[in-house]
C-alpha cells in the first residue's frame, strides 16, 4: 500500500513569493491533515479535512495561508506571500474515518521550506 505522497520535498524561495505544497493521502483515507513542524519542535496542526470539507482550520493563518481539497482526495496548501518565519517542514497526514482508526495518522515525508 502506498503511503502519503508529498511534493516537492524541498523548496527555497525569497520572502514575499508564493509557494504551494501538494499532498496525496493513503487510498481510502477520508481525513487529511496539514501540519507545520518548526526546528526542534513537534508537528502543529494547521488544518483538518473530512473529505472535501475543512472541519478545523482554527490554527491556519488565514491572512496568508490557504488550502483546498476539491475532490476529497489530493490537497494543496498555499502560502502567499511567504515570510521568513514560514521556514519549516510542512507535513501532510491522513487517517481513516471514525469508528475505525481515526487517531492513527500516517504522515508523508514532508516539504522542507526555506524562505530567504
User: What does the binding site for other proteins look like in residue numbers (CB under 8 A)?
Assistant: 4, 31, 33, 40-45, 48, 55-56, 91, 93, 95, 98, 101-110, 112
Residue number with CB closer to other proteins (15 or 102): 102
* Shortest Å distance, C-beta 104 to other proteins: 5
Residue number with CB closer to other proteins (19 or 31): 31
Cβ atoms of 101 and 89 closer than 8 Å: no
The DSSP H or E segment spanning 72 is none
Residue number with CB closer to other proteins (22 or 106): 106
* Shortest Å distance, C-beta 16 to other proteins: 27
* Shortest Å distance, C-beta 78 to other proteins: 20
| DSSP letter string, 73-110 | S-EEEEESS--GGG-EEEEEEEE--TTS-TT--EE---
For residue 16, CA distances in Å to 80, 85, 91, 112 come to 7, 11, 22, 17
Amino acid at each position: 500500500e502506498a503511503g502519503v505522497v508529498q511534493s516537492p520535498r524541498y523548496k527555497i524561495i525569497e520572502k514575499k513569493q508564493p509557494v504551494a505544497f501538494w499532498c496525496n493521502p493513503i487510498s481510502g483515507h477520508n481525513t487529511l491533515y496539514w501540519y507545520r513542524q518548526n526546528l526542534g519542535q513537534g508537528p502543529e496542526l494547521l488544518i483538518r479535512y473530512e473529505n472535501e470539507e475543512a472541519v478545523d482550520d482554527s490554527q491556519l493563518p488565514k491572512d496568508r495561508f490557504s488550502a483546498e481539497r476539491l475532490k476529497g482526495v489530493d490537497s494543496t496548501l498555499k502560502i502567499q506571500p511567504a515570510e521568513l518565519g514560514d521556514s519549516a517542514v510542512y507535513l501532510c497526514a491522513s487517517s481513516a474515518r471514525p469508528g475505525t482508526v481515526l487517531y492513527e495518522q500516517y504522515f508523508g515525508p514532508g516539504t522542507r521550506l526555506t524562505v530567504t
